[in-house]
Structure 1
Amino acid sequence: MEPVASGSPKPDPTPSSPSTSAPPPPSRYESQKRRDWNTFLQYLRNHKPPLTLARCSGAHVLEFLKYLDQFGKTKVHVSTCPFFGHPDPPSSCACPHVQAWGSLDALIGRLRAAYEENGGRPDSNPFAARAVRIYLREVKESQAKARGIPHEKKKRKRKPTVTTVRLDVDLASGIAGEGSNGVSPSASGAKLPLG
């Protein structure tokens, strides 16, 4: 047995490691964005012929969106359906289920962000292509018409006008001039509205 010198602590055989905490889990948005990105990449791999991301265009994004319709849960009435334009049909019909416009719009937003986060240039982003924006607008309008749901543009709220109060100030004495009633606002103790 080795003697231990008094006053000196015995060295710890295990090096102390700084306490490492696990990174916080990704947000729901980030998780969904990653799933959507992986789904799109899988779609490109399964495409006939397979596509690389560099060769992907807005037309391929439109194909992807139409492919997703088979998994949709929103019933959109065709123009020959007796329930076309009715928001709450009294019975069921054979009209197809498709992806809702809001789901497609959110999906494109996530994929557009994921494309750039994964090294894509903003000026060549296929998810930002004009054809994709036009398609989404057409889907929104056609679904609203078929389902009888009005999609009106929101009116902008006007900002309240700001009323300014102008006081004549005698620069030499710093005294405010008299109001229209002949009484100085500061002398009367009146508070002036500022807005």
Structure 2
Amino acid sequence: MDFATPHPEFAGRQRLLDGIDAALQSADTHSTVTQVQRVLEQAIKDPQIVLPACVHAPVHGHYARREIYRSPTHGYSIIAMTWGPGQGTPLHDHDGLWCVEGVWQGSLEITPYQMLERDGERYRFAPRDCLRGCKGSAGHLIPPDEFHTLRNSDAEQIAISVHVYQRVMERSHVFQPIDEAPRWYARECRELGLDA
């Protein structure tokens, strides 16, 4: 995406931005994230807020990431993700950023992970209970609890989620299982791109 180009306009965009901007006035990180989560839950239910048409188009081979807004004042970024049937993420972190995620359409399986230990560049994780995020639900991640996977388990329908990041998330650490060591993972840094 060319960042010189304005982000897509969409119905009710300013209502969403005003709510997030107000939430960022909270005194601490936990309060801020809780307020942003409430704003996102309300926005999903608000018929006056309609995401831009581009977010309804899946991308073959991977979930789509589209930045629909970046705040020049507060630095946060809003990413709409489009999940084709069966698409998901590997185990990953958010590069130390808090994030609020809401399901706008469809449903997602979200599995949080707890890091149990680190041995050099090997990490041991344990999955927590899988959560089913349906339309209108939202959750948040605050480091150091920032490890999870997301997946659209529907075999036919797309899912759309909206993610509000503390600032632009340009990279993420992905954790790949090490076959010979149960629950141990190797970490790799990945640059994150955007889809048109």
TM-score w.r.t. length of structure 1: 0.25
- Of structures 1 and 2, the larger Rg is shown by 1
Which structure is higher in RCO with an 8 Å CA cutoff and minimum separation 6?
2
TM-score after normalising by structure 2: 0.24
